[in-house]
């Protein structure tokens, strides 16, 4: 009975009969197969870039909201209102434009009588907009321009608190982010506004300059980079070490030399991979992102390394980033696949007027970046290279660099207070204030806060290898601590006079700090650090004794309370 069945199977085309393949239209794939994205487009790249950039904006505005009032508010350590008034006095007799161009910020046009409210409003608006973009990955040029203007305005009244490379870098990255988006449309995939390759190359040019600038400033700077010994010191002496840095510092000398060589390769050689075709560009992106992740793990460098990952994302096109997105029908990845197929058709619809305008804008943007890059390139080629500098007031194209010199010893300023009537009394008990993150208490574990940032702790690191004359704000801090000022104390982790009368005297003591050795005597006592007193950093001061000093600088005199 099997034979007739086999015969029928063959008659119907079953069995061993040859099968004819169904005709497939170009781009046709079985329904169950996930879409295979084509290289060369950057729809998904834009989504990832916008979300990453908005996240960094969110962190930056969160830091600003939590700390700006205490640092640059009406009663801050360096009040921004006073700073703007000093600019006005400097340009007295000249046009208002001179003052604005020196420090371009929207705060010039607002009522300074409510400076704390202004600073909070800017930060809260920035938090809201950046949170929206992070969650939805939908943005247009207007929203991204708002974020840029808001942070630009804060940075230009932030004085020394905002004088670091990552502030310049965020503004340049944020400016590029504006041109990623359509003018009006709120859509993850604005069909008529594909991501411009000019903007993508703007991001690539940024990461190239960041890494090459960092590499060149090292080999031209501290000789320990050429002798391959800088990593013997870096983990211990970096501004705000974390727990991982404690253990990495104990690594053998040959491992530190390997780290230094790897650093030189990644910063001086790998950046040129960008210009060697798609595959090498992707390799560049992978290497740089992994490098930044290692730096994030090994130290608290604010949001710098998180921010540096962003332009590296531009090294990946849709085909490379497709794995980050689901393959469900109607999803973002599926929509991009359909748009790619539509673009590949021979009969394309006529170019819209708006698209032509956008192309002109993108070309103009590219010309602007090229022109502003000329002094930056000259700086890179100069043996007297400067880092973290802008050659234009808008901080659009900047120079970058990090750790051109390495401090070989770690010193700390320890703020102490006493209730003794006399500062020179040998029986006086001096109690220490503890900052949020900087080393102080020997038994306190190093903090882990990146990408968040404590600006006061960071400046205390710089103050420790400078003098108090170079950091007058430290006396403003001392005065506020003498008054138990709640705003200043919000920047402090531990106030030894909490619930008691304020101290009568405040002084700064200078110490040399070193990591304890795991398994050693100090580590067995629970100490992460060991320290040795160098001497006084600034003499004991009282609130009454600071009155004339405060008056000469127009600082508000803190009252008791």
Q: Which pLDDT tens digit goes with each residue over 55-85?
A: 999 999 999 999 999 999 999 999 999 999 9
- The answer to whether 113 and 79 are in contact (CB under 8 A) is no
Nearest to 405 by CA among 235, 217, 534: 217
What local confidence, expressed as pLDDT, does residue 184 receive? 86
Check residue 13 and give its pLDDT: 47
Asked if the model's pLDDT at residue 9 lies above 60, the reply is no
Instruction: Specify the pTM.
Output: 0.91
Which pLDDT score, from 0 to 100, does residue 336 have? Answer: 93
The pLDDT confidence band at residue 387, using thresholds 50, 70 and 90, is confident
Question: In sequence order, which residues have a C-beta less than 8 Å from that of residue 176 and are 6 or more positions away?
Answer: 199, 202, 203, 206, 311
Print burial letters for 447-459: b (CB count within 10 Å at least 16), e (below 16).
bbebbbbbbbbbb
Looking at residue 468, the DSSP 8-state letter turns out to be: G
HSE (side-chain half, CA atoms, 13 Å) at 202: 30
pLDDT of residue 55: 98
CA angle at 35 for the pair 31 and 36, rounded to the nearest 5°: 135
pLDDT digits (tens, 9 = 90+) for 330-381: 899 999 999 888 887 766 666 677 678 888 999 999 999 999 999 999 999 9
Give tens-digit pLDDT for 147-185.
999 999 999 999 999 999 999 999 999 999 999 999 888
C-alpha to C-alpha distance for 274 and 407, rounded to whole angstroms: 33
Task: Determine the pLDDT at residue 346.
Answer: 60
Give the bridge partners for 536, in sequence order.
509
Whole-number Å distance between alpha carbons of 150 and 65: 12
Region 480-484 average pLDDT: 95
Going by pLDDT thresholds of 50, 70 and 90, the confidence category of residue 469 is very high
Determine contact, residues 178/141, Cβ cutoff 8 Å. Answer: yes
Which DSSP state fits 336? H
| Listed residue (418, 404, 467, 415) closest to 439, CA to CA | 415
Do residues 231 and 260 make contact, with C-beta atoms less than 8 angstroms apart?
yes
pLDDT in tens, 22-58: 555 444 555 556 678 999 999 999 999 999 999 999 9
At residue 497, does pLDDT exceed 80? Answer: yes
Which of the pair, 15 or 96, is modelled with greater confidence? 96
Burial label for 46, CB within 10 Å (0-12, 13-18, 19+), is buried
Which position has the higher pLDDT, 348 or 295? 295
| pLDDT computed for residue 509 by the predictor | 97
Q: How far is residue 22's CA from residue 531's CA, in Å, rounded to a whole number?
A: 79
CA distance linking residue 267 with residue 220, whole number of Å: 13
CA distance 178 to 416: 47
Domain boundaries, the chain: 35-186, 196-317+349-406, 410-553
**In this predicted structure, what is the pLDDT of residue 330?**
86
Beta bridge partners of 507: 416
Between 459 and 5, the more confident residue is 459
Average pLDDT over residues 251-275: 97
pLDDT value, residue 503? 96
Distance, CA of 130 to CA of 50 (rounded, Å)? 10
Q: What is the mean pLDDT of residues 205-215?
A: 96
Segment 249-274 mean pLDDT: 97
Q: Tell me the pLDDT band of 275, cut-offs 50, 70 and 90.
A: very high
| Amino acid 402: pLDDT | 86
Q: What is the pLDDT of residue 416?
A: 97
Report pLDDT digits (tens) over 502-549.
999 999 999 999 999 999 999 999 999 999 999 999 999 999 999 999
- Is the predicted pLDDT of residue 414 greater than 60, yes or no? yes
Query: Which of the two residues, 404 and 350, has the higher pLDDT score?
Result: 404
> Is the confidence at residue 8, as pLDDT, over 90?
no
Residue 501 — pLDDT band, cuts 50, 70, 90? very high
Query: Is residue 6 over pLDDT 60?
Result: no
pLDDT at residue number 96: 81
Mean pLDDT value of segment 230-253: 96
Which pLDDT value is given to residue 349?
64
Q: Quote the pLDDT of residue 561.
A: 42
Give the N- to C-terminal CA distance of the chain in Å, as an integer.
105
Q: What is the mean pLDDT of the chain?
A: 91
**pLDDT value at residue 30:** 54
């Amino acid at each position: 009975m099997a034979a007739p069945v086999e015969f029928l199977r063959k008659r119907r085309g079953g069995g061993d009969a040859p099968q004819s393949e169904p005709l497939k239209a170009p781009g046709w794939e079985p329904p169950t197969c996930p879409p295979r994205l084509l290289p060369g487009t950057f729809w998904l790249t834009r989504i990832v870039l916008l979300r990453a950039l908005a996240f960094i904006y969110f962190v930056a505005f969160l830091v600003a909201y939590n700390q700006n009032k205490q640092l640059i508010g009406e009663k801050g350590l360096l009040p921004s209102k006073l700073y703007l008034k000093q600019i006005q006095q400097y340009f007295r007799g000249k046009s208002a434009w001179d003052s604005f161009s020196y420090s371009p910020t929207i705060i010039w046009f607002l009522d300074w009588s409510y400076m704390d409210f202004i600073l909070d409003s800017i930060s809260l608006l920035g938090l809201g907009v950046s949170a929206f973009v992070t969650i939805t990955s939908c943005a247009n040029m207007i929203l991204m321009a708002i974020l840029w203007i808001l942070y630009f305005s804060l940075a230009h009244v932030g004085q020394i608190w905002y004088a670091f490379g990552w502030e310049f870098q965020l503004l340049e990255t944020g400016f590029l982010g504006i041109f990623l988006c359509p003018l009006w449309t709120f859509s993850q995939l604005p069909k008529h506004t594909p991501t411009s390759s000019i903007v993508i190359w703007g991001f690539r040019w940024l990461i190239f300059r960041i890494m090459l600038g960092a590499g060149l400033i090292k080999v031209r700077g501290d000789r320990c980079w050429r002798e391959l010994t800088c990593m013997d010191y870096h983990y211990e002496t970096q501004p705000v070490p974390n727990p991982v840095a404690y253990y990495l510092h104990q690594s053998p000398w040959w491992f530190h030399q390997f780290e230094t060589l790897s650093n030189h390769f990644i910063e001086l050689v790998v950046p040129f991979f960008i210009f060697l075709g798609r595959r090498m560009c992707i390799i560049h992106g992978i290497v740089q992102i992994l490098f930044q992740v290692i730096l994030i793990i090994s130290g608290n460098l604010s949001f710098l390394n998180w921010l540096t990952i962003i332009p590296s994302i531009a090294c990946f096109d849709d085909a490379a980033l497709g794995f980050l997105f689901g393959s469900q029908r109607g999803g973002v990845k599926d929509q991009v696949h359909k748009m790619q197929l539509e673009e590949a058709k021979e009969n394309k619809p006529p170019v819209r007027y708006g698209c032509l305008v956008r192309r002109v804008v993108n070309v103009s943007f590219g010309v602007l970046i090229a022109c502003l890059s000329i002094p930056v390139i000259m700086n890179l080629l100069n043996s007297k290279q400067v880092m973290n500098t802008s050659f234009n007031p808008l901080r659009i194209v900047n120079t970058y660099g990090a750790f051109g010199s390495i401090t070989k010893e770690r010193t700390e300023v320890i703020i102490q207070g006493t209730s003794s009537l006399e500062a020179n009394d040998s029986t006086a008990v001096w109690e220490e204030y503890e900052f949020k993150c900087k080393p102080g208490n020997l038994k306190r574990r190093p903090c882990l806060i990146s990408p968040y940032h404590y600006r006061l702790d960071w400046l205390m690191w710089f103050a420790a290898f400078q003098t108090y004359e170079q950091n007058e704000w430290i006396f403003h801090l001392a005065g506020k601590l003498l008054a138990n000022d709640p705003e200043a104390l919000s920047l402090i982790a531990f106030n030894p006079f909490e619930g008691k009368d304020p101290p009568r005297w405040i002084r700064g003591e200078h110490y040399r700090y070193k990591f304890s050795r795991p398994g050693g005597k100090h580590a067995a006592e629970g100490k992460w650090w060991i320290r040795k007193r160098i001497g006084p950093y600034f003499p004991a001061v009282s609130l009454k004794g600071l009155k004339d000093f405060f008056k000469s600088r127009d600082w508000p005199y803190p009252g008791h309370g």
